[in-house]
Chains A and B, each alone.
Chain A
Amino acid sequence: MPTQTCCGQPAYNSGDRATARAIARQTILAFADCDYIVAPSGSCSGMLARHYPELFDDEPDLSREALAFAAKCHELVSFLVDVMGVSAVSARYDGVATYHDSCSGLRELGVKTQPRQLLASVEGLRLVEMQDSEVCCGFGGTFAVKYGELSNSIVTEKSGKIEASGADTLLAGDLGCLMNMAGKMQRLGRNVKVRHVAEVLAGMTDMPAIGEPETEPRK
């Protein structure tokens, strides 16, 4: 198990380049022996695959290492479809789901059709598209806290689009987005289950959804 902590994006986006580089070095070394590094997060994978090389673009040796590392990094669902060739899953989910396209996954990594393709194979699941699924949910990392009122305004609008879609379940590939949207919808009293798309694809939906109480003690 590689000694990982975090991809370092909070430091990177806050302008603390020195810390971001230190964490990046640590991460690259930790995963040195791996063939693939897969993260259930578009934003983390985007950091690893697109921004790590940029962090070292002034140093040729480190840059080479970062580029080699970046080439091994993947977001989870696109890894399954594009690298492992998975075209269907054997899971079941009774519900109407809508998928939010998290910004990093979509724009940095091109994650768009892969989750929809796998969700189409989930028995019992009906996928509906919300209006503006590609529009930001307003999380943006520290933005959600630093510019809380603005973030709230954006996520309130997103909640409206989710509700209008008629879905009873919201799925996405990024926990930050999911927590943001779940938190807003729960504050608004909306009855929408929020899950990471991997939970549905893996058939692990007997566990509580995000923000829901656990009904029995976990081991």
Chain B
Amino acid sequence: MTVAPTSTQFKDNAHEALNDARLQRALVHARNFIPRRSAAAERMPEFEALRDSARDIKNHTLAHLDLYLEAYEKKVLETGGHVHWARDAEHARKIFLDLCHARGAKRVTKGKSMISEEIGLNAALEADGVEAVETDLGEYIIQLRGEAPSHIIAPAIHVTRDDVEADFRKAHRDLPESRDLSQPEQLLAEARGILRDKFLTADIGVTGANFLIAETGTSVIVTNEGNGDLTQILPKVHVVIASLEKIVPTLDDAAQLLRVLARSATGQDMSVYTTLSTGPRRPGDVDGPEDYHVILLDNGRSAMLGGPFEDMLRCIRCGACMNHCPVYHQIGGHAYGWVYPGPMGAVLTPSLIGVAEGGQLPNASTFCGRCEQVCPMRIPLPKMMRHWREREFERHLTPAGARYGLGVWAFFARRPTLYRLATQAAMRALKLASRNRGRFASLPLAGGWTAHRDLAAPQGSTFQAQWRARSGATR
């Protein structure tokens, strides 16, 4: 389920997150991905070259996206599948609901799909009287909690074991109260049993797609649990919902991307299940869906092509950026207020929901650059966050106080003589104000700094003054 964006309240969200002791304890786990990714990268000497190869494949694809989309569709139709084109979230929901009605579907199982979050699919299904069951264990847990995912590959990373036990006891009321759920194994066994029944009785199975292969009309999903597979082979209908930029040209291209995906995400060389699905059952098949539908979603992607945010369309949703982000580490994913958190969320969100709604996110970055350093697709994330800041500045969306302060600074910075005089004067004034204690615990107009830290007072004189004094120069 996805609620309306709260990204404009990012600061309040972050404040809540910083003061949520339970969340802070759980967030420590997000950092485990860091050593695993670097170990996987080190174990493969060709890893850096593979990143370049992956980037080049996606760039080629995006430059020819119209043609690859047509080729992909042709293949899906040839193999007996159906392709639906959705302009936006509302259109995609309608297409899906129409499919449910045509089938009289009452129960839908879901593999993990961020696109389904983006379009708010679960809420739409529930409003229509259709039961939507998340089958990825993390997604199942947060569905019980009525929450959105807080990480794109580890959706329940913010939830503790105690939380899970409490949620299961509350939701699985038919099971004996006296049962022991103190161990993670027992929780898993319980979820496995409950979801097994749902898998076997679902009318429609929905998955996302990590890749859509034009060469063969194939959808690719990558999981460790196998839930995506049970979702797509057991029901009579399999629906794939994927955004336009998931297209890759060939099986070989998919192989290149797969090599950097799992390594960047969890540090595995290969996820447990990488599944290529092509169309419905064939003559001779004894299992598998009878109907295979692909919903291709635009929802802002075509507008990103050919523009300054085009590089973001290379994203393969591995999560490495947020795993390495100092801001994400402090607050987790929900604080970002919409579907996509961390650095990739900061760049993508304003493109999809507008800069007025999403513009806070690209501002909440120190530009440390770690995200770009680990992105398997070499997406220049800080550069694009800076682009968003430029957009906001041009449209006067930058807060008035910040704009004014910047204006004052810029006035001096463009006038060297005034700048020199002003900095010397400021230094003398600050030194006097510090009364030789060397630092300030508080200072008017510097509350944003001194609320949390001391502010060092200037010492000596400026470099230029000292240079002039030592060299006897007159300028």
Say if the two chains contact directly (CB < 8 Å): yes
Q: Contact residues of A with B, CB < 8 Å? A: 1, 3-6, 8, 10-17, 19, 22-23, 26, 30, 54, 103-104, 107-108, 134-136, 138-155, 157, 179-180, 182-184, 186-187, 207-208, 210-214, 218
Instruction: Known A22-B414, A140-B366, A207-B459; judge A11-B14 contact (CB<8 A).
Output: no
- Contact in complex: A135, B326 (CB < 8 Å): yes
The 11 listed contacts between A and B (C-beta, < 8 Å) are A15-B394, A26-B414, A135-B368, A136-B326, A147-B11, A147-B14, A149-B15, A149-B18, A211-B454, A213-B436, A214-B459
> In the complex, how many angstroms separate the beta carbon of A50 from the nearest chain B beta carbon?
10
- Contact in complex: B453, A155 (CB < 8 Å): yes
Q: Is B419 positioned at the interface, with any CB of A under 8 Å from its CB?
A: yes
Instruction: Known A15-B391, A140-B367, A144-B448; judge A153-B18 contact (CB<8 A).
Output: yes
- Contact in complex: B406, A212 (CB < 8 Å): no
- Contact in complex: A182, B365 (CB < 8 Å): no
Cα–Cα, bound, A148→B18 (Å): 12
> In the complex, how many angstroms separate the beta carbon of A31 from the nearest chain B beta carbon?
12
- Contact in complex: A186, B439 (CB < 8 Å): yes
Instruction: Known A15-B390, A136-B370; judge A211-B460 contact (CB<8 A).
Output: no
Contact of B452 among A23, A107, A184 (CB under 8 A): A184
Residues of A contacting B468 in the complex (Cβ-Cβ under 8 angstroms): 1
Nearest A residue to B392, CB-CB: A15
Cα–Cα, bound, A154→B366 (Å): 11
> In the complex, how many angstroms separate the beta carbon of A127 from the nearest chain B beta carbon?
23
Contact of A14 among B393, B412, B439 (CB under 8 A): B393
- Contact in complex: A15, B452 (CB < 8 Å): no
Task: For the A-B complex with A13-B389, A149-B18 known, give 7 more contacts whose Cβ atoms are closer than 8 Å.
Answer: A14-B406, A15-B391, A140-B366, A146-B363, A148-B452, A152-B453, A183-B455
Cα–Cα, bound, A67→B441 (Å): 43
Contact of A11 among B366, B410, B460 (CB under 8 A): B410
> In the complex, how many angstroms separate the beta carbon of B375 from the nearest chain A beta carbon?
12
Q: Contact residues of B with A, CB < 8 Å? A: 11, 14-15, 18, 326-327, 330-331, 363-370, 372-373, 383, 386, 388-394, 398, 402, 406, 409-410, 412-417, 419-420, 434, 436-439, 441, 448-449, 451-457, 459-461, 464, 467-468, 473, 475
- Contact in complex: A107, B413 (CB < 8 Å): no
Residues of A contacting B393 in the complex (Cβ-Cβ under 8 angstroms): 14-17
- Contact in complex: A26, B456 (CB < 8 Å): no
Contact of A140 among B365, B461, B467 (CB under 8 A): B365
Cα–Cα, bound, A103→B365 (Å): 12
Cα–Cα, bound, A17→B363 (Å): 15
> In the complex, how many angstroms separate the beta carbon of A20 from the nearest chain B beta carbon?
9
- Contact in complex: B456, A218 (CB < 8 Å): no
- Contact in complex: B386, A218 (CB < 8 Å): no
Nearest A residue to B464, CB-CB: A1
> In the complex, how many angstroms separate the beta carbon of A151 from the nearest chain B beta carbon?
7
Contact of A213 among B326, B394, B438 (CB under 8 A): B438
Nearest A residue to B419, CB-CB: A5
- Contact in complex: B452, A187 (CB < 8 Å): yes
- Contact in complex: B413, A218 (CB < 8 Å): no
Cα–Cα, bound, A84→B301 (Å): 49
Residues of B contacting A143 in the complex (Cβ-Cβ under 8 angstroms): 364-366
- Contact in complex: A207, B453 (CB < 8 Å): no
Residues of A contacting B392 in the complex (Cβ-Cβ under 8 angstroms): 15
- Contact in complex: B390, A17 (CB < 8 Å): yes
> In the complex, how many angstroms separate the beta carbon of B294 from the nearest chain A beta carbon?
39
Instruction: Known A150-B331, A183-B454; judge A214-B436 contact (CB<8 A).
Output: yes
- Contact in complex: A19, B410 (CB < 8 Å): yes
Contact of A211 among B364, B383, B415, B456 (CB under 8 A): B456
Residues of B contacting A152 in the complex (Cβ-Cβ under 8 angstroms): 451-453
Residues of A contacting B18 in the complex (Cβ-Cβ under 8 angstroms): 149-150, 153
- Contact in complex: B448, A145 (CB < 8 Å): yes
Instruction: Known A140-B367, A150-B327; judge A214-B438 contact (CB<8 A).
Output: yes
Cα–Cα, bound, A4→B462 (Å): 13
Cα–Cα, bound, A15→B390 (Å): 4
- Contact in complex: B406, A136 (CB < 8 Å): no
Cα–Cα, bound, A152→B454 (Å): 11
Instruction: Known A3-B416, A208-B438; judge A148-B368 contact (CB<8 A).
Output: no
Nearest A residue to B362, CB-CB: A15
Residues of B contacting A154 in the complex (Cβ-Cβ under 8 angstroms): 326-327, 330, 366
Nearest B residue to A143, CB-CB: B366
Cα–Cα, bound, A212→B457 (Å): 8
Contact of B368 among A26, A30, A136, A150 (CB under 8 A): A136
Nearest A residue to B31, CB-CB: A132
> In the complex, how many angstroms separate the beta carbon of B37 from the nearest chain A beta carbon?
14
> In the complex, how many angstroms separate the beta carbon of A21 from the nearest chain B beta carbon?
11
Cα–Cα, bound, A6→B326 (Å): 27
- Contact in complex: B386, A15 (CB < 8 Å): yes
- Contact in complex: B439, A1 (CB < 8 Å): no
- Contact in complex: A218, B460 (CB < 8 Å): yes
- Contact in complex: A218, B368 (CB < 8 Å): no
